[in-house]
């Protein structure tokens, strides 16, 4: 069976940056299950998986435009520190949920000054080439619920 839209792909992966440093891996964990054709993974990886079969091993580099996008400077903003009322101490690396014109978004604090806090709404991997080592370990039919909901249901009770 070849991996195509509306099938569940089951893969082991290792993601590295351009320096060869591991960013994420399924090694030692359960494989990743995703619903092919439903944008559950970055487009460049999904494209590379199309047509693959169980047992296929391959490497693929995904450029930013097919990954998490280019860095968007408009998503970096300096805000007054008083906007963070209720937080004892705002520190670099903290993440907050913010309501934006595009809905809820996670932002990271990248700088804290006496009166201001600079936040970044870019995905942490935006602007980076994603280097994957992939092993296809399974392919299965999606359930009607998975197709209706647009993602894989896992666990004993088939929950999200």
- pLDDT tens across 13-32, in order? 999 999 999 999 999 999 99
pLDDT at residue number 37 = 97
Kindly state the DSSP code that residue 122 receives in the 8-state scheme. Answer: S
**pLDDT value of residue 159:** 46
Domain boundaries, the chain: 7-68+126-149, 73-120
- Residue 110, classed as helix, strand or coil, is strand
Q: Across residues 82-107, what is the average pLDDT?
A: 88
Domains 7-68+126-149 and 73-120 are alike in CATH topology: no
What are the pLDDT digits (tens) for 107-142? 999 999 999 999 999 999 999 999 999 999 999 999
Mean pLDDT (whole number) for 71-79: 93
| Reported pTM | 0.82
Residues forming a β-bridge with 12: 135
The end-to-end CA distance of the chain, in Å, is 25
Say if residues 137 and 30 touch (Cβ distance below 8 Å).
no
Q: In the block, which residue shows the tokens 């009770």?
A: 157
Beta strands at 76-80 and 95-100: parallel, antiparallel or unpaired:
unpaired
CA–CA separation, 76 vs 5, rounded Å?
36
pLDDT top residue among 57 and 101: 57
Domain 7-68+126-149 has CATH 3.10.20.30: no
Q: How far is CA 83 from CA 5, 11, 76, 80, in A?
A: 44, 42, 16, 6
Architecture label for domain 73-120: Beta Barrel (2.40)
On the CB side of 69, CA atoms within 13 Å amount to 8
Q: What's the confidence (pLDDT) of residue 155?
A: 53
- From the list 120, 82, 115, 66, the residue with the least C-alpha distance to 98 is 120
- Which two tokens mark 130? 């994603």
């Amino acid at each position: 069976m070849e991996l195509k839209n509306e099938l569940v792909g089951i893969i082991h992966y290792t993601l590295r940056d351009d320096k060869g440093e591991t960013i994420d891996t399924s090694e030692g964990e359960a494989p990743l299950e995703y619903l092919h054709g439903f944008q559950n993974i970055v487009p460049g990886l999904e494209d590379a998986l199309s047509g693959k079969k169980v047992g296929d091993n391959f490497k693929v580099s995904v450029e930013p435009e097919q990954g998490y996008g280019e860095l968007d400077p408009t998503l970096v903003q300096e805000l007054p520190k008083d906007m963070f009322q209720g937080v004892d101490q705002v520190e670099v690396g903290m993440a907050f949920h913010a309501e934006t014109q595009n809905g809820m978004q996670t932002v990271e604090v990248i700088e804290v000054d006496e009166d201001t806090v600079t936040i970044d709404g870019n995905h942490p991997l935006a602007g980076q080439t994603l280097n994957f080592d992939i092993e296809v370990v399974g392919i299965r039919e999606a359930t009607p619920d998975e197709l209706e909901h647009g993602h894989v249901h896992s666990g004993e009770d088939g929950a999200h």
